[in-house]
Chain A
Amino acid sequence: MKNEFEIKDLNLFYGDFQALKNLSLDIETNKVTALIGPSGCGKSTFLRTLNRMNDLIDSCKISGDINFDNNDIYAAEYDVIYLRTNVGMVFQKPNPFPMTIYDNVAYGPRCQGIKDKRILDKIVENSLKSAALWDEVQDRLKKSAMGLSGGQQQRLCIARAIAMEPKVILMDEPTSSLDPISTQKIENLIDELKKDYTIIIVTHSMQQAARISDSTVFFLLGEIIESGDTKTIFSNPSDKRTEDYITGRFG
């Protein structure tokens, strides 16, 4: 059981405010790891450190180690674009580009220089199939992605991320803006995807975490209170705060 990510003593500051405090964590390969905790406690912030999306914020300062595949991803010589081709992200609100469905999925590969139409066709088909969207869109690949429903758009975003053949897929509350049926579809999808990908998912719904994840990490005020096997965390948490959150006493 290899570790995809090994995080040690991670601290993150937005200016003077410390958002993440001394985090240490291992993410196992081909497992679904859920990050739970009340709003504003750093789950999304932590997720974004893993593909260096925090680089976009000027006031953000980081110390500590994040190792991906035995490389420190914050090292000066580490190529951030390379990182992002291996660590994909799906956002809270579906954000398809205003282009055709085909162009959305082919976007990532095209950026890396892949031009051969046959290769792109194959990538698009495989990704849409893996995202369980192929059947619904195969006859309208050249239509605009903006015409899809919310749930379909989110699956499109997942297909788009998969097209890059990443090792890890980060998901930031991917179903919070969707209806229950779409949510169900995506949860089933995640269960399928973990065979080939490592998934880290931030979720507000404990039921979702309990349903789909193998490991769970509980965040509170920028610290990791407890992490481990999902079943254990939910049935027999070792920290009282974890128990309070899970039983709904706060958050």
Chain B
Amino acid sequence: MIISDRKLKARRRKDNSVKGIILSFSSVGLLVFASILIYIFKTGGGLVGYDLLISDYQDFNTDVIVNEVSGDFTYSSTLDDDEYYSNKWDVVLTDTKDREGKDIVVISYIGENSPLRDVSDLNSIVDSGFVRVNIPINSSVDSIILDDYDFIAFSKFGAETMVDIMNMGTSIDSMTLVKEGGGIRGSLITTLYLIGLTLVIAVPIGVFSAIYINEYARKNKLTKYMKTMIDMLTGVPSIIFGLMGAAIFIPFVNGTIGTSGGSIISGALTMAVILLPVIIKSTEEALKVIPFDIRTASLSLGANQTQTTFKVILPSAIPGIMTGILLGIGRIIGESAALIYAIGASIKDKVILKERSTTLAVHIWTAMSGDRPNFELASAISIIILGAVIILNIIAKILVKRVSKVSY
């Protein structure tokens, strides 16, 4: 065909612009991924830390009494903008925010000779009187009552006003200190309990089912039906599993163990059903790779089916089973909708298996619901969850690579 040079060039140009479109559409996925990472790190990065992981969620209030009266002090260093010094009590109060983003006032400096070095806990009485305690640096102070209720300073007034009021009184009758909460220890422990309990239930059932289907069952219609039934579980949305948990497992656990309402146990039972197809599939894949003759060899040596399964087949299938377990753990960590129904959504500091609690993911959901969504906390927990899921995926991939390298 005779094609002019001009036409060829026009064709080239059109081609390149189409290529450009394909390229830009393809980068959307990359863009989304990068945006999510950037957002959660930017918003929650500051919050992630050791004390986030081990702190309680609830704030803990302590009432203390200051045993000495005010005096006269001086402060030698310079003060930042939101720091305010009380020369009567030799302390610096600072405006800052807590983990939930609320405004609070903390005691950021207590002088060597400050009266606040000598305080006692009003709620703990022993024979000799109240127990002496130390005020930790950066404790949050909620209210200060001076001179028999003559002067009362609340944290909502702000640090500057609190200092002014403090300076007006001579004795502090009671001071309410707040050990701030907002920590996720409870949810972290809940997640770990849930993982453990779920695996204990799901792995044996799943592995045994896969072994039966692959090693024992005859290839008849019944086996086919059972496989289809198990496969269908993969297409069920999480929230339906949640309904199932609420409809079946919560009453079941209530009836048998005597709990009331949701519990981590009912959640584990629900998650076990969700994990079942994952574990079964991974185990099946692992079993299929094992050459058939190994079984024949074992049986011909006089081993029975059980010995063959446990001594020869299972050990070789372990990497594959591990892969399924790792993927399952990732699923548990990320699950939200099902657990909201199957356990509930109350954030707890004391985690009890028979009661409800939140996992990390459900904690996010609770933190984001309501009028004041806590983006920082949600992002911080997201970082933890995402980090865990990615690491689990990487380990699973390495396992898969190792398994395929093994030659028989």
Q: Which residues of A contact B (CB under 8 A)?
A: 79, 81-82, 85-86, 108-109, 112-113, 164-166
Contact = CB atoms under 8 A, between A and B. Distances in A.
B137 interface: no
A166 B10 CA distance: 21
B7 A79 contact: no
Contacts of B7: 112-113
A119 to B, nearest CB: 12
Contacts of B3: 82, 85, 112
Contact of B11 (A108, A113, A165, A166): A113
Nearest to B2: A165
Contacts of B2: 165
Nearest to A165: B1
B297 to A, nearest CB: 40
A164 B8 contact: no
Give chain B's interface secondary structure class: helix
Interface in B164-196: none
A251 B1 CA distance: 38
Interface in B327-354: none
Interface of B: 1-3, 7-8, 10-11
A108 B3 CA distance: 12
A188 to B, nearest CB: 25
B17 to A, nearest CB: 15
A52 to B, nearest CB: 16
Contacts of A85: 1, 3
A45 B10 CA distance: 32
A165 B1 CA distance: 5
Contact of B8 (A82, A86, A166): A82
10 contacts: A79-B8, A81-B11, A82-B8, A85-B3, A112-B3, A112-B11, A113-B7, A113-B11, A164-B1, A166-B1
A108 B1 CA distance: 10
A166 B11 CA distance: 19
Nearest to A167: B1
Nearest to A88: B1
A86 B2 CA distance: 8
Contacts of A82: 3, 8
A81 B8 CA distance: 9
A36 B124 CA distance: 104
A86 B1 contact: yes
A122 to B, nearest CB: 14
A112 B3 CA distance: 8
A79 to B, nearest CB: 6
A109 B8 CA distance: 13
Residue picked from B1, B3, B7, B10, most chain A C-beta under 10 Å: B1
B19 to A, nearest CB: 14
A81 B10 CA distance: 13
B312 to A, nearest CB: 42
Contacts of B8: 79, 81-82
A113 B8 CA distance: 10
A79 B5 CA distance: 10
Nearest to B9: A79
**Nearest 5 pairs between A and B by C-beta?**
A85-B1, A165-B1, A164-B1, A79-B8, A112-B3
Contacts of A166: 1
Nearest to B10: A113
Nearest to A166: B1
